[in-house]
């Protein structure tokens, strides 16, 4: 039965990559219609779409009274995004040139969003008030992104109002429907992958937080991995970085915020949590250096990021 589970995981992962490849085509078409920068499009719409598995896990774990799974999932997913996801995408997709459009401010905002739940958890609990703060941070981040990022202002019309007006043409609506169908495919496939991974992990009696940190986090990060790989292959640097950073923001604010709003989170596995939190800060710093110094991500750097993730696993297992 275990071998069957692993075979199904491989098949579903390949299916996920194919669906994501189609999604990039539709998003590129939507980008041309809406005249939004690739970074803004991937940072908001696609990042939210690829974070749906994390959201599903968060809501389910909160309703079942085990929000620690979601906490581990969010921290693990963010570490995975910055290391093994970006690393594998660069390793197999090739060198990616990152244009100067991505500023230090963008990276700083991403770090603040990703680190916010870690700061709020210094008292070992994430309350509903903390949850509201995190959700508000997500709203502020995306409002700023959509109103100031290449929205092509016309007069005094706000960026968001302009965005909705540009959604009216029939061709754009058809493209949008295809985007939502692709997103639904990603959601369903990812959900099946997570369920299979949880079933496998459950047979080994792994602690709940560690299940979220590794098994569930890797499963829910597959949409990001599939998209990042395809974005590098298609040389869409803005979409690569926009989706990666947007996913970190969504995980660190919206996802964990909704989870804590349903069921406040208390830290139980303190040592594992501290290692993961410190590693997130270190991983972000290394990723920042790699992408900002030469404005590109080389294959060898992708290899370093992958090794960094395995170092994280080793540290958690000690």
pLDDT tens-digit readout, 47-70? 777 787 888 788 888 888 888 888
The CATH number that applies at residue 26 is 1.20.1420.30
pLDDT of residue 82: 94
Integer-rounded Cα Rg, in Å, for the chain is 19
Paired residues of 10 in beta bridges: none
Paired residues of 125 in beta bridges: 266
Q: Which residue has the higher pLDDT, 119 or 171?
A: 119
CA atoms within 13 A on the CB side of 289: 9
Identify the domain containing residue 158 by its residue range.
Answer: 2-317
Looking at the chain, the whole-number percentage of residues with pLDDT higher than 90 is 29
pLDDT in tens, 168-207: 566 677 888 888 898 888 778 877 877 776 777 777 776 7
- Does the reported pTM lie above 0.85? no
Per the structure, how many domains does the chain have? Answer: 1
Mean pLDDT is highest, among 5-19, 68-82, 90-104, for: 68-82
SS (H, E, C) the chain: CHHHHHHHHHHHHHHHHHHHHHHHHHHHHHHHHHCCCHHHHHHHHHHHHHCHHHHHHHHHHHHCCCCHHHHHHHHHHHHHHHHHHHHHHHHHHCCEECCCCCCHHHHHHHHHHHHHHHHHHHHCEECHHHHHHHHHHHHHHHHHHHHHCCCCCCCCCCHHHHHHHCCCCHHHHHHHHHHHHHHHHHHHHHHHHHHHHHHHHHCCCCCHHHHHHHHHHHHHCHHHHHHHHHHHHCCCHHHHHHHHHHHHHHHHHHHHHHHHHHCCEECCCHHHHHHHHHHHHHHHHHHHHHHHHCCEECHHHHHHHHHHHHHHHHHHHC
Cβ–Cβ < 8 Å for 62, 259: yes
174 vs 26, 40, 183, CA distance in Å? 10, 21, 14
Encoded tokens for 285: 């710093």
């Amino acid at each position: 039965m275990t071998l069957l589970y692993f075979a199904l995981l491989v098949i579903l992962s390949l299916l996920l990559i194919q669906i994501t490849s189609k999604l990039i085509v539709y998003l590129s078409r939507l980008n041309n219609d809406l005249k939004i920068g690739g970074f803004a499009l991937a940072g908001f719409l696609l990042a939210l779409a690829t974070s749906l598995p994390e959201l599903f896990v968060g809501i389910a774990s909160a309703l079942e009274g085990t929000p620690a799974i979601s906490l581990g999932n969010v921290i693990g997913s963010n570490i995975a995004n910055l290391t093994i996801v970006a690393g594998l995408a660069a390793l197999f997709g090739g060198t990616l040139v990152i244009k100067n459009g991505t500023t230090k401010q963008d990276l700083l905002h991403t770090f603040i969003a990703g680190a916010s739940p870690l700061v709020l958890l210094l008292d070992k609990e994430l309350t509903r008030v903390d949850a509201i703060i995190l959700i508000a941070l997500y709203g502020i981040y995306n409002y700023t992104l959509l109103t100031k990022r290449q929205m092509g202002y016309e007069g005094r019309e706000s960026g968001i109002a302009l965005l909705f007006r540009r959604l009216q043409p029939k061709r754009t609506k058809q493209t949008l429907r295809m985007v939502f169908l692709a997103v639904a495919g990603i959601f369903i496939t990812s959900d099946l992958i997570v369920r299979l991974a949880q079933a496998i992990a459950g047979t080994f009696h792994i602690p709940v937080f560690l299940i979220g940190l590794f098994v569930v986090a890797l499963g829910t990060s597959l949409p990001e991995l599939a998209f990042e790989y395809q974005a590098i292959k298609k040389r869409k640097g803005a979409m690569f970085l926009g989706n990666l950073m947007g996913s970190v923001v969504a995980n660190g604010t919206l996802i964990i915020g909704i989870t804590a709003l349903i069921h406040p989170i208390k830290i139980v596995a303190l040592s594992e949590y501290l290692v993961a939190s410190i590693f997130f800060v270190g991983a972000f710093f290394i990723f920042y250096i790699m992408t900002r110094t030469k404005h590109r991500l080389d294959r060898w750097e992708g290899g370093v990021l992958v090794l960094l993730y395995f170092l994280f696993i080793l540290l958690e297992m000690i």
